[in-house]
């Protein structure tokens, strides 16, 4: 059995992205292509399929950490904010896009809320999908 940690992240995210495009419930919202992903960004994403890349990356993070909430994902997707002549500082990513992505993944049945603790975890279907893609990447 191949672990998610054993395969290159960029190849796994690309494979997951292509698989998530086939799921009807994961259609991108109308605003997904025009909003910035956080205060540390200067412009909106330039990739056409940024929404699916973010969904795939979130699935990968949840499979690695087993349980994750919006605040931890905001920190993970955050980055350096350029402030002109002042030194750059770290800023978290926007929470709205991450929250909506998690809600869409829940509607698709890939992620579920944990009843005991705050946060979300993968369902059996989500874990199966991530493991299948990790295996396919390891074969290449």
Sign of the CA dihedral with 128 first, then 134, 136, and 139 last: negative
Among the listed residues 22, 24, 16, 25, the one whose alpha carbon sits nearest the alpha carbon of residue 104: 25
Output the pLDDT for position 23: 85
Distance CA 61, CA 46 (A): 22
Contact between 95 and 70 under an 8 Å Cβ cutoff? The reply is yes
DSSP character at residue 118: S
Q: Return phi, psi of residue 68, to 5°.
A: -150, 150
Output the pLDDT for position 116: 79
Output the pLDDT for position 72: 92
Spell out the CATH class of 4-139.
mainly alpha
Output the pLDDT for position 73: 92
54-67 burial, b for 16+ CB within 10 Å, e for fewer? Answer: bbbbbbbbbbeeee
CA 93: distance to chain centroid?
Answer: 12
Task: Answer with the residue of higher pLDDT: 122 or 1.
Answer: 122
Tell me the per-residue pLDDT of 103-113, one tens digit each, with 9 for 90 and over. 999 998 899 88
Delimit the domains of the chain by residue range. Answer: 4-139
Stretch 2-29: mean pLDDT:
87
Stretch 24-50: mean pLDDT:
78
Give residue 79's pLDDT band: very low, low, confident or very high (50, 70, 90): confident
DSSP character at residue 109: T
Average pLDDT, the chain: 87
Asked whether the predicted pLDDT for residue 46 surpasses 80, the reply is no
Give residue 9's pLDDT band: very low, low, confident or very high (50, 70, 90): confident
Output the pLDDT for position 5: 85
DSSP assignment of 37-71 equals SBTT-SS----TTHHHHHHHHHHHHHHHHSSB-HH
Q: Return phi, psi of residue 28, to 5°.
A: -70, 145
Stretch 59-83: mean pLDDT:
89
Asked whether the predicted pLDDT for residue 51 surpasses 80, the reply is yes
Distance CA 40, CA 79 (A): 6
């Amino acid at each position: 059995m191949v672990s998610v940690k054993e395969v290159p992240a960029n190849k796994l995210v690309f494979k997951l992205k292509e698989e998530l495009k086939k799921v009807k419930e994961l259609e991108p919202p109308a605003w997904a292509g025009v909003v910035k992903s956080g205060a540390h960004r200067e412009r909106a994403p330039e990739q056409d399929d940024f929404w699916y890349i973010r969904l795939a990356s979130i699935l990968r993070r949840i499979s690695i950490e087993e349980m994750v909430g919006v605040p931890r994902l905001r920190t993970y997707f955050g980055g350096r904010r350029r402030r002109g002549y002042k030194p750059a500082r770290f800023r978290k990513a926007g929470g709205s896009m991450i929250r909506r992505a998690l809600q869409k993944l829940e509607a698709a049945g890939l992620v579920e809320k944990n009843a005991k603790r705050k946060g979300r975890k993968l369902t059996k279907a989500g874990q199966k999908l991530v493991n299948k893609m990790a295996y396919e990447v390891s074969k290449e």
